[in-house]
Structure 1
Amino acid sequence: MEMRKFQVVSPMSRLDQGLVQQWPEFSRSRIQKLIHQGHVHINQRVQTDKNQPLRPGDWVQLHIPAPEPVDTPAQPIPLEILYEDGQLLILNKPAGLVVHPAPGHWDGTLVNALLAHCPDFLAMGDKQRPGIVHRLDKDTTGVMVVAKTALALQHLQQQIQTRRMGREYLGLIHGRLPQENGTISAPIGRHPHQRQKMAVIPSGRPAVTHWRVLESCGVYSWVHFRLETGRTHQIRVHLSHLGHPLVGDPVYSSSRTLTQKLPGQALHAWRLSLAHPATGEGLTVTAPLPAHLVGLLTYLGFKNHQPMAIPAQNDPPANRDSPPQ
């Protein structure tokens, strides 16, 4: 059983709302079920009333039961492996591939493919997410690292939490940003009305995205992003908040221009920089752009597809808080 806790800073009218704001990866219904089952404590006392208000200074604990075991079949799904050794595997995830089994996607996922490629992943503990260090959205392409041993999983997750792993993206956006370089620091949490979406909200968790415009062409811009935090849908939410959503984003953009040329949002995890969990040596891997993005950029007249002049981000800024992974 996993235990999480936080101290209330400002008054919250309802316990369930406070927990969803604190941990937006959980749905309201999931939180309410955990409260009803007695898995939430306030100041070390069980609280089963979802309407219980929270006061500044209250300590809230959430006890998350271990998931029921679910058999995840190995499936021989082709993988584009960029680097592999005995500790880890780095791959180029295609669009349309879900990372791990979840409602609506119980098979045909990256985890199913990994179990076929390396059956020892089953010994990693979590049968639904064995070896998964971080995630990419279904239609986001690009570089991902997967742990092959418990030691590697621990070290890589720690690098994520302490922001020592560099994660860089390339994206095509609507319009032109006001500056060539910039940073957006805006808290992200669950959308107050559309629970499947994230949004910039005052009660959200800190989120920081650095950006650099590589090229602008007409009413579009090709942009390099570097994550300082790792919130759900972070780049997509931040760009939408700025009024320059990603081209093809079915959730955060109202424009349907060019969507017929894309499987989803025009976002690619371009480069990953980390310390090898066994040796401590720096390892930087770049994922080539998918054909559909190269074709779209060429169609629009862009020339600078690969920003090779940007130095690898091996040493991200010091930790401010631990992003949920």
Structure 2
Amino acid sequence: MIKEIIKEEKIRLDIYLTKLLEDYSRSEIKELFKADNVLVNNKAVKPSYLTKLNDKLLIKELTFEKEIIAKNLRLPIVYEDEAIIIINKPKGLLTHPATNKKEDSVVNHLLYHTTKLANIVNLKKAGIVHRLDKDTSGLLIVAKTDDAYHSISKQFKKRTITKNYYTIVHGNFEAESGTIIAPIKRDPISKVKMIASEDGKEALTDFNVIKQNSNYAYLNIDLITGRTHQIRVHFNYIKHPLIGDGVYGIKDDFSNDSFFLHAHSLTFTHPITKKEVTFKAPLPQQFQELLKELFHD
């Protein structure tokens, strides 16, 4: 359940929700309205409702009706205790089950792995605090208790979690490091894309060049904010799209394999011990082989 006091006027509520609920697709937001799960001042409203200052918004999460089958996908567990699980998600696997596709997801494995998951009433989330794109590999935090879920969610909102990624992009850089500052919003034309736009949400990305040649650069990235598709949007915005990214970049020799983006490390405060913890995931073999091919290591 999400509660919020609306601070913007005369905006269609469905458009307002696309900004507020970044993890929801437009079709899922549409389903929220159909189920009367979007209330303003305790009354169900339509998507066309125009917001008013200080409206009280209440969003009830959808009950995911499609059966989710527990399945052993043999996912690498980096760490586990009574509060959290850290998973190393492989490239090509969905984080959450899709509403219109019969594909396996991390949730399928979690339901096989344990019955102790936060927010288990909503099987689609199954304790997962954040998400990675299907073709992004690397670390995911899963909460096993509601307290752990709320603790880590707050850290994401306060930007106290350090999120480090590796990727390979087109072109090379004059400077060895940089910061990309470009707000991001959903593309009004394409339902599956985000764009850099002045009227979007604040988005910051720091990067360092690990190595480069005349055609490609291998980067270490610190994600300061966590907007949908942020790294892909930002590097396309500065004319250095991720190799193989046919959505935001250019069709190239790597398109069949999609882009290469790996969530390498996470540092955050453990919800029980209150101590800072860091977890790391090695580069996938395919990523390592591509580095050797491009940089002749």
Q: TM-score band (shorter)?
A: 0.7 to 0.9
Q: Contact 1:214 / 1:222 at 8 angstroms: preserved in 2?
A: yes
Q: 1:272-299 CA distances to partner (integer Å, 9 max, x unpaired)?
A: 1112211112211111101111001101
Q: Contact 1:168 / 1:226 at 8 angstroms: preserved in 2?
A: yes
Structure 2 residue corresponding to 1:111, chosen from 107, 111, 114: 107
> Percent of pairs identical after alignment?
34
Give the superposition deviation at 1:139.
Answer: 0.8
Output the CA distance in 2 between the equivalents of 1:119 and 1:29: 29
Task: Provide the secondary structure at the position in 2 that maps to 1:119.
Answer: coil
Q: CA distance change for structure 1 residues 144 and 216 in 2, over 3 Å: closer, same or farther?
A: same
2:288 maps to which residue? Answer: 294
2:234 maps to which residue? Answer: 238
Give the superposition deviation at 1:208.
Answer: 0.9
2:2 maps to which residue? Answer: 2
1:208 maps to which residue? Answer: 204
CA RMSD of aligned residues (A): 2.7
Task: Provide the secondary structure at the position in 1 that maps to 2:165.
Answer: strand
Runs of 4+, deviation exceeding 6 Å: none
Output the CA distance in 1 between the equivalents of 2:268 and 2:275: 8
Q: CA distance change for structure 1 residues 277 and 291 in 2, over 3 Å: closer, same or farther?
A: same
Code of the aligned partner of 2:232 = R
Give the superposition deviation at 1:218.
Answer: 2.5
Structure 2 residue corresponding to 1:280, chosen from 274, 278, 287: 274
2:15 maps to which residue? Answer: 17
Task: Provide the secondary structure at the position in 1 that maps to 2:79.
Answer: strand
Give the superposition deviation at 1:51.
Answer: 4.8
Q: CA distance change for structure 1 residues 58 and 142 in 2, over 3 Å: closer, same or farther?
A: same
Task: Provide the secondary structure at the position in 2 that maps to 1:238.
Answer: helix
Q: 1:81-122 CA distances to partner (integer Å, 9 max, x unpaired)?
A: 222222222121111111121224455211111111113338
Q: CA distance change for structure 1 residues 298 and 275 in 2, over 3 Å: closer, same or farther?
A: same
Matches within 5 A, 1:146-225: 146-225=142-221
Structure 2 residue corresponding to 1:97, chosen from 78, 93, 96: 93
Structure 2: gaps (5+ residues): none
Output the CA distance in 2 between the equivalents of 1:34 and 1:123: 18
Output the CA distance in 2 between the equivalents of 1:199 and 1:193: 10
Output the CA distance in 2 between the equivalents of 1:196 and 1:294: 29
Q: Contact 1:132 / 1:146 at 8 angstroms: preserved in 2?
A: yes
Structure 1: gaps (5+ residues): 304-325
Q: CA distance change for structure 1 residues 41 and 127 in 2, over 3 Å: closer, same or farther?
A: closer
Output the CA distance in 2 between the equivalents of 1:45 and 1:143: 39
Q: CA distance change for structure 1 residues 244 and 60 in 2, over 3 Å: closer, same or farther?
A: farther
The alignment's TM-score, normalised by the length of structure 1, stands at 0.81
Give the superposition deviation at 1:300.
Answer: 1.0
Q: Contact 1:175 / 1:220 at 8 angstroms: preserved in 2?
A: yes
Task: Provide the secondary structure at the position in 2 that maps to 1:96.
Answer: coil
Code of the aligned partner of 1:295 = E
Give the superposition deviation at 1:32.
Answer: 5.4
Task: Provide the secondary structure at the position in 2 that maps to 1:172.
Answer: strand
1:124 maps to which residue? Answer: 120
Give the superposition deviation at 1:302.
Answer: 5.3
Give the superposition deviation at 1:6.
Answer: 2.6
Q: CA distance change for structure 1 residues 82 and 96 in 2, over 3 Å: closer, same or farther?
A: same
Q: CA distance change for structure 1 residues 108 and 94 in 2, over 3 Å: closer, same or farther?
A: same
Give the superposition deviation at 1:23.
Answer: 4.0
The alignment's TM-score, normalised by the length of structure 2, stands at 0.88
Code of the aligned partner of 1:95 = K
Output the CA distance in 2 between the equivalents of 1:33 and 1:113: 26
